[in-house]
Structure 1
Amino acid sequence: MSFQINVTPTTVELRRTDSTGWTSGAIADTTYRGGYAGLSNGSITDLATRPFWRNLVITQL
Structure 2
Amino acid sequence: MDILQARHRLYEMARSQTPSRWSGNTRNWQPITRVTLNPERDSVAQAAINPRDNGQVAA
Range of TM-score over shorter length: under 0.3
Higher relative contact order at CA 8 Å, sep ≥6: structure 1 or structure 2? 2
Q: Return the index of the structure with the highest Cα Rg.
A: 2
The normalised TM-score by structure 1 is 0.22
